[in-house]
Structure 1
Amino acid sequence: MKFLVVIFSLLSISLAQKLPFGFKRCSIKDNECLVEAVQEAIPKFKDGIKEFGIPPTDPLFIPEMSIGGGQQVIQLNQVYKNVSLKGLSNSKVTSFSFDMKDERILLYTTVDKLVISGHYTASGKILLLPVDGSGPFTIVLDQPVGTLLVDFAIHSKKGQKHLRANSAKLLFDVSHASYNFTNLLKRNRNIEQSLGKVLNENWKEIFDELVPFYTDAYAQALLQVVNRFFSRVPLSEVFLDYEYRQ
């Protein structure tokens, strides 16, 4: 799930305005060092960094998100609340690039397992089966591989150069996904167990349609974290040799 990690990776490479102890700085040309810096930074963001106004990233929290109906397999109107993503702090960085010329950051990560949970309300159809329910839900993603792509621009602030992320895209691939949605059928509990079995037998089709909505929401959450961090940290503090490349 190299993905969400990507953004932390950004953070990791940074040393800032008095960054917390233990953050690693690198030459902008030393990609091996940058990969190590990002990897070391990931667990440091698990509980958040108060002095930078950065909230905890494991679990990564989304207060609310809505998904309209009309997809192919999942024709549902869905509202999710208090959604958390657990496991990001265990991510392993497999590749990282910081392209100053094209103003793009690309991070690849893997992790053994990610768990998405919260409360859902949904009505419509899944695989042509009627759904009308609400309650707690859990999605378990096994061996996720993530890609995080961030496009940024450089701007001046108080005589210093800062990075501002303009967009972020998060992609997932997994070896398997399992779903547990409680109370999918309010009026027919007898069929609910069968529907849950159908969901998990068709996990790939469900994953392809459902998970991208989550990754879009988490990409936006990570975008905010990145900008909150880099608004305070000039690039001359992030890279050992940035000031000499202007």
Structure 2
Amino acid sequence: MSVKILLIPLNGAGHMFIEIENLNLLMRTKTRLYEKGGFTFYNVTKLRMDLNPGGVKTNFENIFNGNSKEVERSTNLFFNENWREFFEALRPLITETVETTMLEILQKVFHLIPANFFVEDIPTSTELYKKGKQK
């Protein structure tokens, strides 16, 4: 039987660095069209992402309140050698953070740049939503 148990109390205050390498992501958005100034725009209302990293590098400073630099170094080494498990433990937090950030960015971009600059033959919101009611 092979069992891994990680019970390390991480209680400190310091800087943290996480670098995700070779990230593949699948992004799904929900949008609603609206009209402004004679143009059709996207309103991004929801965003979900699946993140699949090719690697994760981390460095935590002062994670044991400065009590043991050697244990801190060993812990950082352990996290980097076992990056998959480390990422899986933090996946919900990382995914939520990336989703929130991307939603804010996409909302700003799509409120500034008309949707018909991205999709040439996009219908107006009136055309699209009127069609949906007629079905």
User: Please, what TM-score do these two structures have when normalized by structure 2?
Assistant: 0.72
Among the aligned pairs, what percent are the same residue? 23
Alignment of 1:18-167 (within 5 A): 127-167=6-46
Cα displacement (A) at 1:187: 4.8
Q: 1:143 to 1:159 in 2, by over 3 A?
A: closer
Name the residue aligned to 2:110. 230
Cα displacement (A) at 1:168: 1.1
Q: Return the alpha-carbon distance in structure 2 between the equivalents of residues 134 and 213 of structure 1.
A: 19
Name the residue aligned to 1:200. 80
User: Which ranges in structure 2 are unaligned for 5 or more consecutive residues?
Assistant: 128-135
Cα displacement (A) at 1:185: 0.6
**Higher strand proportion:** 1
Structure 2 counterpart of 1:215, from 71, 95, 107: 95
SS at match of 2:92: helix
Q: 1:224 to 1:175 in 2, by over 3 A?
A: closer
Q: Return the alpha-carbon distance in structure 2 between the equivalents of residues 178 and 211 of structure 1.
A: 14
In the alignment, is residue 240 of structure 1 matched against residue 120 of structure 2?
A: yes
Q: What per-residue deviation string (whole Å, max 9, x for no partner) do you get for residues 141-164 of structure 1?
A: 232211221111112335543210
SS at match of 1:139: strand
In the alignment, is residue 180 of structure 1 matched against residue 50 of structure 2?
A: no
SS at match of 1:161: strand
Q: What per-residue deviation string (whole Å, max 9, x for no partner) do you get for residues 13-40 of structure 1?
A: xxxxxxxxxxxxxxxxxxxxxxxxxxxx
Which structure has the larger Rg?
A: 2
Q: Return the alpha-carbon distance in structure 1 between the equivalents of residues 67 and 40 of structure 2.
A: 60
Q: Is the 8 A contact 1:134 1:183 kept in 2?
A: yes
The one-letter code sitting in structure 2 at the alignment partner of 1:232 is L
Structure 1 counterpart of 2:48, from 169, 172, 175: 169
Q: What per-residue deviation string (whole Å, max 9, x for no partner) do you get for residues 167-226 of structure 1?
A: 112222123222211111115214222222332233211101214312322222221222
Q: Is the 8 A contact 1:171 1:212 kept in 2?
A: no
Q: Return the alpha-carbon distance in structure 2 between the equivalents of residues 140 and 226 of structure 1.
A: 22
Q: 1:238 to 1:201 in 2, by over 3 A?
A: closer
- RMSD (CA atoms): 2.6
SS at match of 2:113: coil
User: Please, what TM-score do these two structures have when normalized by structure 1?
Assistant: 0.43
What number of residue pairs does the alignment pair up? 121
SS at match of 1:177: strand
Q: 1:198 to 1:234 in 2, by over 3 A?
A: closer
Q: Return the alpha-carbon distance in structure 2 between the equivalents of residues 155 and 138 of structure 1.
A: 40
